[in-house]
Structure 1
Amino acid sequence: MPGWFFPVDQAAFAWFLSRQTDAGTTGDLLELGAYLGRSAILLGDHLQPGESFTVCDLFDSEAPDSENSAEMAMSYRDSLTRRAFEANYLAFHPQLPTVIQAPTSVLADGRIRTGSCRFVHVDASHLYEHVAGDIQVARDALAKEGLVALDDYRSPHTPGVSAAVWEAVFDHGLKPVLLTPEKFYGTWGDADALTRVLLERDWRGEGFRMDEELIAGQVCHRLAKDPAPAPGPAPRSAAPQRSAARRLALDVLPPFATRATRRALRAARARRSH
């Protein structure tokens, strides 16, 4: 299904959620912004008996302000509907989460019990004012040992998210734990404990790249899929090296001229062979 939930974040979500369950940590799950359900489906895989899962999204309803309306029109057009989300989710799970079709700001009214969640995923509006409000909702909802995942914290087209995320770090006590190319993972609780959980897995041995950073006095890690190709047998023979002049010609000539050059080279080689 369409969406932007990439393998490195799928692995990070599954790892943290499963380790919470293994440790006996219980709590509800919350997602702000669901699109068509890719991340919600994975979150639903980790829902334990007695826990609840709430999804809040505008889907195909009206945005609360003109800026948010313009953002929705540019990003989703007619693709984002509640019906599509629910159909996708029910293809993997027997029942839907609690769905709140409304701006995520409605969650600030206390309908999510304070300290009730172990994991919150924020991927709704990219406008600074909205993201700052969503981060506050996540902070209130999370238990002390809970983890928040914030999407698009470094994308060039979402500076409002970056501003809200780093403001939360430097001014509101959010501690970074893990950074991926798309998401920021943090906590207002014990970041060192979550880091230990993160490092229990052999990420490098599974084809990921892991680097350590120090941000605002807090050690965190960067995780990405390792682009290096898997080792394999050496080729039987190396391809002949093209001359610099020939490489330049093939790079800059238009296709019809490149084809003519190749025909001339083949003809010259044929004459030499005779």
Structure 2
Amino acid sequence: MDQEAFGHLLAAQNAAGTTGDILELGSYLGRSAVLLGDHLRPGQRLTVCDLFDSEAGDADNAAEMTMSYRASLTRSGFEANYLAFHPELPTIVQAPTSVLADGRVPDGSCRFVHIDASHLYEHVAGDIEVARRALSGNGLVVLDDYRSEHTPGVSAAVWQAVFTGGLRPVLLTPMKFYGMWGDPEPVRRVLLARDWRAEGFTVDEDTIAGAPVLRLNNALRPAARRSGARRLLLDLLPPVATRSVRRALGALRTWRRPGAQRA
């Protein structure tokens, strides 16, 4: 759903004639960067900042890198993935995202900033400040992992920015927070103009400290109904036999699928 939300908001910016660059803090292997690159217009620049396979500048960040990313995160992997979809690479800053506080991204130059770098509170708070300075008045910031149980530092930095830093929520999904420091009402209208429900999503409206915010989620699919005979069989069999029956039924469904490989 975030792929759809990114595309919808970026396309709406282009349709409205909104100008500005795009910035990504934390790119991993390039999936979101590829999508951001799809929406660049002539004269606009995508800048990505990530440590990739460089060493982290502090012990806590190094520990997080080692635990989660070190084995797979390489600049060569990012570049190969990006070039599979685009003819040239974005501007790459291989360094801690804190270096962007030096002004190399001009104030007010960006229309969209995606933050998915460190999960440590101090780093995320700094990344949010980089985004605030980089964004134009109607620009959007998107933050990943704002509500995951293993990333409390992101949650703390995001809600601190909301309640003390003027960041205004626009859209919440299970994984990402969308907000801005400008007037969110035009973006709300853009989001509500799309029939998300027809595409299998739910859209709800909530309020945070009196300000409206939209919530986007996947629609729940009804559970598959079992036949009466199958329910009785699974209820009566001992647990070990029940598991065997479930595995056999699952294998049969896979075998019957169109295009499934046959032994």
- 1:247 equivalent to 2:249? Answer no
The Cα offsets for residues 165-188 of structure 1, whole Å up to 9 and x where unpaired, read as 000000000000000000000000
Matched ranges for 1:209-220 at <5 A = 209-220=202-213
Matched ranges for 1:20-31 at <5 A = 20-31=13-24
The question of whether the paired residues in 2 share the 8 Å contact of 1:104 and 1:134 is answered with: yes
Matched ranges for 1:68-107 at <5 A = 68-107=61-100
2:254 is matched with: none
- 1:192 equivalent to 2:181? Answer no
1:41 & 1:144 partners in 2: Cα distance?
Answer: 25
Indicate the SS of the match to 2:179.
strand
Tell me by how many angstroms 1:77 deviates.
2.6
2:255 is matched with: none
Call closer, same or farther: CA 1:21–1:247 in 2, change over 3 Å: same
2:257 is matched with: none
2:125 is matched with: 132
Aligned pairs, how many?
245
2:123 corresponds to which letter in structure 1?
A: H
Tell me by how many angstroms 1:136 deviates.
0.3
Call closer, same or farther: CA 1:248–1:14 in 2, change over 3 Å: same
- Bigger Cα displacement from structure 2, 31-40 vs 197-206: 197-206
- 1:203 equivalent to 2:191? Answer no
2:52 & 2:179 partners in 1: Cα distance?
Answer: 26
Call closer, same or farther: CA 1:26–1:257 in 2, change over 3 Å: closer
Indicate the SS of the match to 2:147.
coil
2:244 & 2:108 partners in 1: Cα distance?
Answer: 66
Q: Could you say what the CA RMSD is over the residues aligned between the two structures, in angstroms?
A: 2.2
Larger CA Rg, structure 1 vs 2: 1
1:180 & 1:256 partners in 2: Cα distance?
Answer: 37
Call closer, same or farther: CA 1:239–1:22 in 2, change over 3 Å: same
Tell me by how many angstroms 1:239 deviates.
3.3
Indicate the SS of the match to 2:138.
strand
Percent pairwise identity: 66
1:41 is matched with: 34
Q: Normalising by structure 2, what TM-score?
A: 0.88
The Cα offsets for residues 39-71 of structure 1, whole Å up to 9 and x where unpaired, read as 000000000001111000000000010000000
2:48 & 2:220 partners in 1: Cα distance?
Answer: 33
Indicate the SS of the match to 2:6.
helix
Call closer, same or farther: CA 1:160–1:238 in 2, change over 3 Å: same
1:269 is matched with: none
2:258 is matched with: none
Tell me by how many angstroms 1:227 deviates.
2.5
The question of whether the paired residues in 2 share the 8 Å contact of 1:249 and 1:258 is answered with: no
The question of whether the paired residues in 1 share the 8 Å contact of 2:24 and 2:48 is answered with: yes
2:50 is matched with: 57
2:136 & 2:169 partners in 1: Cα distance?
Answer: 16
Indicate the SS of the match to 1:56.
strand
Indicate the SS of the match to 2:228.
coil
2:15 corresponds to which letter in structure 1?
A: D
2:243 & 2:220 partners in 1: Cα distance?
Answer: 35
Tell me by how many angstroms 1:257 deviates.
10
1:257 & 1:182 partners in 2: Cα distance?
Answer: 33
2:229 corresponds to which letter in structure 1?
A: P
Equivalent position to 1:174, from 131, 153, 167 = 167
The question of whether the paired residues in 1 share the 8 Å contact of 2:124 and 2:157 is answered with: yes
1:121 & 1:256 partners in 2: Cα distance?
Answer: 47
> Please, which runs of 5 or more residues in structure 2 have no aligned partner?
246-263
Call closer, same or farther: CA 1:241–1:104 in 2, change over 3 Å: same
Tell me by how many angstroms 1:205 deviates.
1.2
